[in-house]
Copies of this chain bind each other. A is one copy, B any other.
Amino acid sequence: MTDRPVRLLWKPGTMLYPVPAVLISCGDMDGRMNLVTVAWTGTVCSDPPMCSISLRPERFSYSLIRENKEFAVNLTTAAMAVAVDWCGVKSGREVDKFKEMQLTPLRASQIRAPLVAESPINLECRVTEIRELGSHHLFLAEILAVQADPAFHRGKTGYFDLAAAAPICYCHGHYHRMGKQLGKFGFSVKKKRRRTRR
C-alpha cells in the first residue's frame, strides 16, 4: 500500500506531445515574405490531403496568410534547430528571418509563398477555412503539391528516407531529435516469413 495517488488530476491544458515543429513560410516570393515556427499543426485529412496550422492573430504571419490564403509547411531537422526556435521567438515585423537564419527561399509550384530549401519536405498549401477558436485561429488547408530533397530519395526502392534527415519534434517545452525506430505500421499483426525448404 502506498499513499501515492493513482493519477494526478490537473486543470485543462495543452499536453498532446510529441508534436511536429515546422517552419511556416508565407507572403510573396517576389515581395514581402516571412517565416514562423508552428507546433500546433497536423494532418487533418488523407483524401484530399489536408493539414492544419493554428496561429495567434497577433503574429505577423497571421495577416499575410489570412490575406494571401496560402502558406507552405517546411519540415525541420536537427541541423535547423536554432532557426526553428529563433523563428518562433522573433517577429517578422522587425527582422528578415530568411536572411538572419541564412535560409534559402525557393519558388513553389502552386503558390506564391516561398519554400525553405533547407527542409527535407515542403507542403504547398491553400487555405480552405479559418476557425476563430480563441487564443489561436485554426487554418484548414489543402495540400496542392509536395516538394522533397532528392538527397533522401532512395532510388532502388523509391522510398523517401525522412528519418535520415534527422527530423525534430517538440515535447513539453523542449525540441527533440526523433529516435530509434520501433516498428513499421502493421508490425503487430505481421506474420513472420519462414524460409521453406523443398
Chain A interface residues toward B at CB < 8 A: 4-20, 22, 39-52, 54, 73, 75, 78, 81-83, 85-86, 88-90, 106, 109, 117, 121, 123, 129, 131, 133-136, 138, 140, 142-150, 153, 160, 162-163, 167-189
A52 touches B45 (CB 8 A): no
C-alpha spacing A150/B3, complex, angstroms: 11
C-alpha spacing A91/B144, complex, angstroms: 32
Measured between beta carbons, the chain B residues less than 8 angstroms from A187 are 82, 85
Copies of this protein in the complex: 2
Q: Which of B4, B89, B136, B185 contacts A174, CB < 8 Å?
A: B185
A43 touches B14 (CB 8 A): yes
8 A-B pairs within 8 Å (CB atoms) are namely: A7-B150, A10-B148, A40-B42, A44-B54, A44-B136, A45-B54, A81-B183, A173-B184
B17 touches A162 (CB 8 A): yes
B44 touches A52 (CB 8 A): yes
C-alpha spacing A14/B140, complex, angstroms: 14
A179 touches B178 (CB 8 A): yes
Measured between beta carbons, the chain B residues less than 8 angstroms from A174 are 163, 181-185
A85 touches B186 (CB 8 A): yes
C-alpha spacing A131/B141, complex, angstroms: 13
Measured between beta carbons, the chain B residues less than 8 angstroms from A179 are 176-180
Measured between beta carbons, the chain B residues less than 8 angstroms from A83 are 188
